[in-house]
Amino acid sequence: MKKTIFALTIASLLSAPALASKDGFYIGADLGSNRLDSESFDTGIGLVAGYDFQITQQIVIGVEGEYRSYGKDKVTIVDGWSAELKAHSFGINVKPKYYFNDNFYAGAQLGLHSVKEEFKEDFFGDVDKFSDSDTGLSYGLEAGYDFNQNVTVKAGYKAISVKPLDVDSDYSTFYIGANYKF
């Protein structure tokens, strides 16, 4: 009887850290293939900092702040006449995740982001610059794999529709990256 109680005590102590291991602060980075409507942008980066709350053994909800650079797109109309558009965003995300086992998860993302677009036109040396921002809802899907309690690799898709500069802008990003949990 004493051996059974001892074995159950040890088993419960060993399983407690496994359940608690999904909670915690994390930082992360990713590289993204970005598009504005149907146009490709340069490869951009995303930086996140957040906290994961483990609700059950399979369900974790993350809350994070995010900076995303969408890169830039430059077009030369004729020699001496060109236009360039750069964009980036700041926002917050809520990310519910479902763990299929201890390591692999799939989840969704819903966020509120402010997107800033900066436009520059060079017309034979006469340069005009202007910028504007708009806020919109972002959404996406993500899958990831926890290599251990600290390192996660992730891949996903996210999109946002905004209207800075009085023009409808639909940004989408396929990304791959990693998080480090403290």
| Average pLDDT value for the chain | 88
pLDDT, position 71: 87
In a domain? residue 40: yes
**β 81-99/59-78 pair status:** antiparallel
Cβ-contact 117, 83 below 8 angstroms: no
- 154-179 as b/e, with b when 16 or more CB fall inside 10 Å? bebbbbbbbebbeeebebbbebebeb
State residue 164's pLDDT score: 81
Give a yes or no: residue 19 inside a domain.
Answer: no
- Hey, which residues does 20 pair with through a beta bridge? none
Distance CA 86, CA 70 (A): 7
Q: Has residue 39 been placed in a domain?
A: yes
How much is the pLDDT for 2? 55
Residue 166, classed as helix, strand or coil, is: helix
Q: Which residue matches tokens 């060109």?
A: 82
The CA distances from residue 114 to 1, 34, 64, in Å, are 62, 17, 15
Between 146 and 7, the higher pLDDT residue: 146
Q: Give me the CATH number covering residue 50.
A: 2.40.160.20
Domain range for 55 is 24-70+87-114+132-161+171-181
CB 42 within 8 A of CB 180: no
Structure tokens at 41: 């942008």
pLDDT at 13: 42
Q: Residue 63 domain-assigned?
A: yes
Given a cut of 70, is residue 8 above it in pLDDT?
no
Tell me whether residue 79 is in a domain.
no
136: Cβ contacts below 8 Å, ≥ 6 apart: 112, 113, 115, 160, 161, 162, 163
Does residue 177 lie within any of the structural domains? yes
The reply to whether 29 falls in a domain is yes
In a domain? residue 8: no
Alpha-carbon gap, residue 75 to 84, rounded angstroms: 6
104 alpha carbon, distance to own chain's centre: 18
Percent of the chain with pLDDT over 70: 88
pTM: 0.80
In the chain, the number of structural domains is: 1
